[in-house]
């Protein structure tokens, strides 16, 4: 879910200017630096950390690509299938995945309403988790 929310912010900033791109890269780098440090604190050695960070980076880019494809093309089925695979481990949680598609789409609308400078200042908002609250907005 962390990756999903990071993706939403990065997706929102993708067509903004250079400052937004630099900011997105800094957030990405900081995220993986924090993961690196956390693994080291758990006692994982250099090679183990490198291997895990590489796998996590590949996973992040793969998920981002599939989520982006589904959102940009408006292909709910493709996005739902990507979420089933990546969030629900392939389990048949179709209703939950569909609700998550709605959440992602609504969150992007919320993020689009925020000025880029607000996002760069750390003021990020997502859709409410309560499905009834989403319908009221």
Number of independent structural domains in the chain: 1
Separation of alpha carbons 40 and 43, rounded Å: 5
Tens digits of per-residue pLDDT, 123-134?
999 999 865 544
- Alpha-carbon distance of 11 to 98, in angstroms, equals 19
Cβ atoms 124, 8 nearer than 8 A: no
Q: What's the pLDDT tens digit per position in 61-76? A: 999 999 999 999 999 9
Greatest distance between any 2 Cα atoms in the chain:
50
Chain segment 86-125, per-residue pLDDT in tens: 988 877 788 889 999 999 999 999 999 999 999 999 999 9
Structural domain containing residue 7: 2-136
């Amino acid at each position: 879910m962390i990756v999903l929310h990071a993706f939403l912010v990065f997706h929102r900033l993708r067509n903004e200017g250079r400052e937004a791109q630099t900011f997105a890269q800094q957030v990405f780098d900081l995220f993986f630096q924090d993961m690196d440090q956390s693994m080291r604190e758990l006692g994982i050695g250099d090679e183990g950390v490198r291997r895990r960070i590489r796998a996590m980076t590949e996973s992040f880019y793969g998920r981002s690509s599939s989520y982006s494809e589904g959102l940009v093309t408006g292909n709910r089925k493709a996005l739902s299938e990507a979420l089933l695979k990546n969030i629900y481990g392939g389990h048949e949680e179709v209703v939950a995945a569909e609700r998550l598609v709605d959440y992602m789409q609504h969150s992007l609308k919320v993020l689009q309403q925020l000025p880029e400078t607000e996002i760069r200042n750390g003021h990020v908002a997502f859709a409410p988790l309560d499905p009834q609250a989403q319908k009221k907005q």
